[in-house]
Chains A and B, each alone.
Chain A
Amino acid sequence: MRAPSLPFRQSPRQNRLLAALPAEVYARLLPHLELVPMPRGWVLHESRGVQGYVFFPTTSIVARCYVMEDGSSAQIAVTGNEGVVGVALIMGGDRTPSRALVYSAGFGYRLGSSALKAEFSRGGKLQDLLLRYTQALMTQTAQTAACNRHHSVEQQLCRVLLLSLDRLVFSEMILSHEWMADLLGVRREGVTQAAFKLRESGAVGYGRGHITAFDRTKLEAASCECYPVVKAEYERLLPEVMTPSSWNPSKLPRATARNSPASGLRAFEQVAQV
């Protein structure tokens, strides 16, 4: 199959977890890593569903949501280019407890369970990184429990937006109130009110009813401690992933019509249809 020609270069190394692997481990995984477009709303795996792949997001951001029997859900963690979706696979499970849902469109790489397990069972750097990543994920989940219980919708929204900002590769994210309400597992009116306050203070900017721009400093001021706690824990557990010298989330390039993940997705679809 002809390699799709895309507006900007795609590489598994755009996922910082993969980028932190030693060259020989990366080289072993590379033939098994498959580029996948991750459009908004795509469910990577369903709650309690069977999963055959793990996903390493590069330009997309994924929310893990816990779904109850009556269908109501709660967002439990945010994963982007710092992580991997589907870690249960290395722990002997082929079913995941949560639903993984793309909420910021982009790309990612998927890796089949057999290739993942083969590398994991070598007991090297991949295993070490994935275990520490799991610990970070647990911390984020536990902190989310406290945040959802004790902090305002506005603070929760700030937490999710800031965690998302740290995982964006372009200074662009399109989020509607409906999506935010879904993500947080709260009623839409609550989100509308919270988003209105953030807009008044200039923490977020709007375009066509969607949040499109952010002021990080103002968001941090309006946020509870949960964001810095989670951020610090990721940095402490995964220094080589979270704070490599090459990474500076406060200096993201502006998304243009040519290079944005959205136009990348459109181009991918066109190439795939040919």
Chain B
Amino acid sequence: MARVAREMVEKAGVDIDHLVELLVKNAAAELTTYYYYTILRVNLIGMDGEGIKEIAEVARVEDRNHFEALVPRIYELGGKLPDDMKTFHDASACPPASLPADPTNVTSMLNVLVEAERCAVRGYTYICNMTAGKDHRTYDLALAILNEEIEHESWFSEFLGEGPSGHFMRRGETSPFVSKFLR
């Protein structure tokens, strides 16, 4: 635990137990989403499915990166991950991104993907609002993750015909915003 760092956050007026619980819940969401996206990705097949497989893969890998980036901050603030994986799964800040009944229906697959990203966008926006100007390190981390979640949402939204994402796919490396926390 980073004792003084924790004290600074508490003195700034952040309910640190609440914050740590939210970070654990969002770490659970990231790791479980990584798992569920693995299943979604392997089922994205055929003429339509192949078209979004790569984008789902990038989101999958970046969600795992988000988990990796969140864990150190949880422990710095005096928190911990649950010992039991089932407990961790059920504590997720977002519902399971389960395979839809008809995996060949690409619209159904996209709806699962976009709803998972929207849940994440809501969660990190809340954490940013909670820590802005008070807990600089958590804010910086949550903002970096938020940037990537917003891009994921816009990619899937574009495929659903809701409007252009406004940007290109990744060019090579993943996690352009979060990678600084992974070094």
Partners in one complex: no
Q: List residues of chain B with CB under 8 Å of any chain A CB.
A: none
Q: List residues of chain A with CB under 8 Å of any chain B CB.
A: none
